[in-house]
Amino acid sequence: MHGQFSPTSDRATVAAYFLYGLEAGLFPEDCAKDWAFSVIAALDDPPIEIIDVATAAHRQDVFGALANASLGADSALAGRWLLTRVHNELLSNRISVRDAIRKSMQVAFSTQLPEDVYYAFDALDDELQLAENGVYSTVADVTRDTLAELSVHGQGSSGAT
């Protein structure tokens, strides 16, 4: 599922990807643990921060370990990877446009992307409410616009799926 990250990828940024992705409800904590185990298996001397992620017993422990492992991360890059994931989820109809917008707002806020990114999704949330009430636009138009916005702000070349 997240095999695009090699064991030599910037581990702090990958940890941030999992931390903020978990916060936004984009995937289960097992994904982060699977990634941590793959890093451990690939390295002769894995960092303790990664071991802590792999061996975390409870959900809150996973969050704490990921927060520790993500120190020094490029949070904006992790955010763009996550927006690409949201794009792919919406495009394949695995999540609704409402979920995509809300998750994108959470990602933009958590990863401290520029304010205009957050507000672009906030505006789409308003437009969706109007479309659902038959006042302005259609849900199909909002879905199209959301996919376009995700394409603009995502990091398609990351391979994050």
Report how far apart, in Å, the C-alpha atoms of 136 and of each of 18, 40, 108, 133 are: 36, 52, 25, 8
Give 105-126 pLDDT, tens digit per residue: 999 999 999 999 999 999 999 9
How do residues 9-49 score in pLDDT, each as one tens digit? 689 999 999 999 999 999 988 999 999 998 899 889 999 99
- Least Cα distance to 89 among 150, 152, 3, 29 occurs for 150
Reported as a single tens digit per residue, the pLDDT across 144-155 is 999 999 999 987
Please state, in angstroms and rounded to a whole number, the distance separating the CA atoms of residues 136 and 149: 19
Is the pTM above the cut of 0.85?
Answer: yes
99: left (phi over 0), alpha (psi -120 to 50) or beta: alpha
Contact at 8 Å (CB) between 19 and 112? Answer: no
